[in-house]
Structure 1
Amino acid sequence: APAPGGSSAEISYLKEQQWETAFGVAEVQKRSVQRSIEAPGTIEPFAGRHAKVSAPVSGLTPARANLDMPVPGDRVQEGQTLGILSPSGGEGSYADLMGRVQRLQREVRRAERLVEAEAIPQKRLVEARHDLTLARAALESMGGSDGQRASTSSGPSTTGAGFNYDLKAPISGRVQERHLAPGSRVEVGTVLYTIVDPSRVWLRLRVPAEYAAAADRATGAVFTVEGSDTIHQASRVVSTGAAIDTDTRTLPVRLEASNSNGALKIGMMADAQLLLADTQSGVAIPNEAIQTEDGQPVAYVETGGESFERRPLELGPTDGQHTLVERGVQVGEHVVTAGAYQVYLASLNTSQIGHGHTH
């Protein structure tokens, strides 16, 4: 007997038709389903796994030295050379700072001797050391350290023509953007590379304000991204916003997701179910079995090997993979998961194909 509220019209969909397309059914079962909140989101870079590499000095990018440098899509390792700059001279240049540090080092040594001989006050030595500390900090911001080249950070190197500056990758990952053109001039602060480590990403959800209190009970999320039906999982809640965005009336919730196959691209839009800690038990069906027709959720129930029935549904909570059904199907029945649209098309022509063969 059809479930209360069901439709008694029998739909014929033959085995030979089923074999021509992907077709599958699933048994209606009792199960516990995590409550969830539906929310849109965006894929964002994981903190510490996204780096913009800027020119620390103004200068030229020697054409020959930069021809084989990484391009967008290339994998790079931390410490790998991304480009070579020939710094311009003048105040604030690497050469100028290096000379200043060396001068101040000599001043500090001289002041130490004079203080020891009580020829100058201690304050002069303190001031000289302070000036040296500031100059060293400025030099280190360019990657240098008293002229010593660092092995895993950007830093200067010397050639017969003078100082060259090796631009190094601060993290391992993929080159997302490159703005380094061989043979061009760049100004200090110009972003030359953007590097992203895509193995883990953040899912930033915009939870409607009416569910803001419930968002504190979030344990994770399941989601899909534009252009794909693949279900991804966000395993850990990173942060929940402290305030509602007054423009969008949403609360930001950020979660961590694995991206080992690189399918999740930075900037992708996502549709998610934010999973909550509390669960509810009842009759459940896979989400693939739920179709929306004229704004009404329905499922197609298998009543025989070649016969089906369309059932309007009253739905309960979903965890993004299974949904509780308050009314429409019973435990033990089988609902169509793959091929439901073909059954729907068959339902439009039931009067013709109800005799047991196709036309």
Structure 2
Amino acid sequence: MSCRTRFLPALPFGLALLLASCTAVAAAAPAAIRMPAEQARALGVRNAAAVAATGIPLEHLPATVEPALERSAVVTAPYAGTVTRVLAVEGSQVAAGAPLARVQSRERMMLEADAGRAASEARLAARQARRDADLLAEGIVPAARAESSRALQEQTGATQAQFARALALAPAARGGLPGEYELRAPLAGRVLERKVAPGQALEAMAAAFVVADTSQLDVAIRAPAAARMRLAAGQVARIDGTDARGRITAVGSAVDGASQTVPVRARFEASSVLVPGQPVAVTLELPAPQGALALPRGALARVGRDSVVFAATAGGYRVVTVEVLGESATQVVVRGPLAAGTAVAVAGTSALKALLAAGE
């Protein structure tokens, strides 16, 4: 039925309703486009089969490469002092226990003296305790004296052990001066940061180096809060523009109010394209629901507010409204009344849209 808008005098209700119905039909898009194969080829329309989607891409998320938290450590100066030598720099590969720097410390020097006195007192107390034990066995001294000697031995031994532990925090530099100790690598890896230089004064507990095992790296990602419920450990993460692939290891539960994102961490094997501190863009691959289809990006068209694809039929194409689940630079993932294997137009859709608008 062909209907046109006219300015008419007042009409009976039934006729007015019929005109309104005709107008609505004219405005609605036809469900099919008749097009012989020869015409389709002439217009550059090309088909491809829809395939079942294996995942939904969440693209171009901002991220930063970081050392794995459990594989990195900060080396601090246990005692205040002055840096006398730097033995490792950024990028140095070091073994566990390797010296990184030397520090001359007045505190360490005084600790050495106190530890020496404690050791002497412990040796004296041990000898006295043994002597009193022998005298007690011969009945020469009372038991109280022997017990007092044993208590003193335990006390001085504990003091000696305490000083030994304190010295172990700052191992003496091999062949160094009194009070000179070494900062050593707590694990095998690479020096990522160096915060000291020869002659620099260090406060107690000041950070001096960051060392990390870079055989595996983490990527800290900011993902849209709306996608949080679909994110889970084990899902695939890709670094855009590279072949690097990893897996999500953790998804944050708190949303950043300013950016409306959640933190996500993914683990990657070491790669020449990944450097700690490097900003990157990441694509996450979310699981595709049942019935989701992957199509070339050129298959998707917009008609009004609807997203549609043109499914091939024997005499042309039918218009199928779909829900867009995800998009990438080359692909779109949709869900709708469409089966895997159905041929859809992937090129020349602009010509099909023009015919659709013309009502053909």
1:92-241 to structure 2, matched below 5 A, reads 93-116=107-130, 117=132, 118-119=145-146, 120=148, 122-142=150-170, 144=171, 155-159=172-176, 161-215=177-231, 217-224=232-239, 228-230=240-242, 232-237=244-249, 239-241=250-252
1:1-359 to structure 2, matched below 5 A, reads 28-34=49-55, 40-62=62-84, 66=86, 69-85=87-103, 87-89=104-106, 93-116=107-130, 117=132, 118-119=145-146, 120=148, 122-142=150-170, 144=171, 155-159=172-176, 161-215=177-231, 217-224=232-239, 228-230=240-242, 232-237=244-249, 239-241=250-252, 243-245=253-255, 247=257, 250-266=261-277, 268-273=279-284, 275-276=286-287, 279-285=289-295, 314=322, 316-318=324-326, 323-326=332-335, 331=342, 335=346
CA contact (8 A) 1:34 1:319 kept: no
SS at match of 2:196: coil
Q: Give the structure with the larger helix fraction.
A: 2
SS at match of 2:163: helix
CA contact (8 A) 1:222 1:231 kept: no
Structure 2: 5+ residue stretches without partners: 1-30, 133-144, 313-318, 352-360
How far is 1:181 from its partner?
Answer: 2.0
SS at match of 1:111: helix
CA contact (8 A) 1:33 1:280 kept: no
Post-superposition Cα deviations, 1:168-196, rounded to whole Å, max 9, x if no partner, equal: 23333333322322233333333332233
Q: Matched residues in 1 for 2:291 and 2:277: separation?
A: 36
How far is 1:46 from its partner?
Answer: 0.2
How far is 1:233 from its partner?
Answer: 2.4
CA contact (8 A) 2:108 2:180 kept: no
CA contact (8 A) 2:188 2:213 kept: yes
Q: Matched residues in 2 for 1:290 and 1:136: separation?
A: 74
Post-superposition Cα deviations, 1:152-182, rounded to whole Å, max 9, x if no partner, equal: xxx43234x5453233233333333223222
Give the aligned partner of residue 18 of structure 1: none
How far is 1:26 from its partner?
Answer: 11
CA contact (8 A) 1:42 1:267 kept: yes
CA contact (8 A) 1:34 1:280 kept: no
Give the aligned partner of residue 13 of structure 2: none
Give the aligned partner of residue 21 of structure 1: none
Q: Give the structure with the larger strand fraction.
A: 1
Post-superposition Cα deviations, 1:124-170, rounded to whole Å, max 9, x if no partner, equal: 3333233223222211111x3xxxxxxxxxx43234x5453233233
SS at match of 2:183: strand
Q: RMSD value over aligned CA atoms? A: 4.8
Aligned length: 293
Post-superposition Cα deviations, 1:231-250, rounded to whole Å, max 9, x if no partner, equal: 5422252x344x42463555
Q: Matched residues in 2 for 1:263 and 1:290: separation?
A: 35
Q: Which amino acid aligns with 2:254?
A: I
Post-superposition Cα deviations, 1:63-117, rounded to whole Å, max 9, x if no partner, equal: xx54xx43333433333332222x132xxx2222222223222222322333341
CA contact (8 A) 2:218 2:266 kept: yes
Q: Matched residues in 2 for 1:53 and 1:5: separation?
A: 70
CA contact (8 A) 2:102 2:173 kept: no
* Normalised TM-score (structure 1): 0.61
Q: Which amino acid aligns with 2:127?
A: R
SS at match of 2:117: helix
Q: Which structure: larger Rg?
A: 2
How far is 1:33 from its partner?
Answer: 1.8
How far is 1:297 from its partner?
Answer: 11
Q: Which amino acid aligns with 1:56?
A: P
Q: Structure 1 residues 58 and 297 mapped into 2: Cα distance closer, same or farther (>3 Å)? A: farther
Q: Matched residues in 1 for 2:150 and 2:180: separation?
A: 39
CA contact (8 A) 1:72 1:177 kept: yes
Structure 1: 5+ residue stretches without partners: 15-24, 145-154, 304-310, 337-342, 348-359
* Normalised TM-score (structure 2): 0.60
Q: Percent of counterpart pairs with the same letter?
A: 21
Q: Which amino acid aligns with 2:295?
A: I
CA contact (8 A) 2:56 2:333 kept: no
